[in-house]
Amino acid sequence: MKLKKLAFAGLLVLVCGTAFAEPGHGCDKGKFDKANWQEHRLEHFEKHQDRLHTILQLSSTQENAWKNYQAQIKPQDKAEHPDVAELSKLNTLQRLDKMEAWDKERDTRQAERAKAVRAFYAQLNDAQKKAFDENAFPQHPHHDGQHDGPRHEK
């Protein structure tokens, strides 16, 4: 009986110790910073694009296509999203109209990004296309269990 209590107490200490671990040591991984999320998103995007650029090993003639591609796919400011306070003042039909208009704008931006991807992809050779396929849109760990860094082996 004493052994069970001791084992339970040890488990409790282990669980509590993990729960109260200091942030900055891996425990704040899921923390959301509302004030800087757009900045963090852009920083993540730029790091990923730098890794992709290195992996693709573009020729000098492909660099202009890369620059055009980057300009067209760069994340935009999320300020165009409808303001919640503004939406709350509208009736249901007006809110639906606003949301449908926002959806159309988002769909248009997505179509433009897809066009940019297709145009850039056409400039790549077969080896680069394979590397792009493997690395351009990485799956995050919570999606498929893989890390989100480059997966291209040299």
Q: DSSP state, 13?
A: H
60 by DSSP, 3-state: which? coil
Q: What is the pLDDT of residue 96?
A: 92
Total domains, the chain: 1
What is the band of 148 on the pLDDT scale with cuts at 50, 70, 90?
very low
In a domain, 28, yes or no: no
In a domain, 85, yes or no: yes
Does residue 93 have a pLDDT over 90?
yes
Q: Among the residues of the chain, which ranges form H helices?
A: 2-19, 37-56, 63-73, 84-88, 92-121, 126-135, 141-144
What are the structure tokens assigned to 79, written together?
């300020």
Q: What is the pLDDT of residue 31?
A: 63
Q: What does each C-alpha distance from 115 to 69, 120, 129, 132 come to in angstroms?
A: 9, 9, 16, 16
In a domain, 154, yes or no: no
Exposed, middle or buried by CB within 10 Å (0-12, 13-18, 19+), for 68?
middle
In a domain, 7, yes or no: no
In a domain, 11, yes or no: no
Does residue 108 have a pLDDT over 50?
yes
- For 9-66, what is each residue's pLDDT tens digit? 555 555 445 444 544 444 455 565 666 766 777 888 889 899 999 999 999 999 999 9
Does residue 129 have a pLDDT over 50?
yes
In a domain, 149, yes or no: no
Q: Which residue has the higher pLDDT, 25 or 104?
A: 104
Q: Which domain holds residue 90?
A: 42-138
What are the structure tokens assigned to 74, written together?
């760069």
Does residue 139 have a pLDDT over 80?
no
Q: What is the pLDDT of residue 68?
A: 93
Q: Which residue has the higher pLDDT, 62 or 147?
A: 62
In a domain, 71, yes or no: yes
Q: What is the pLDDT of residue 78?
A: 63
What is the band of 152 on the pLDDT scale with cuts at 50, 70, 90?
very low
Q: What is the pLDDT of residue 20?
A: 47
In a domain, 123, yes or no: yes
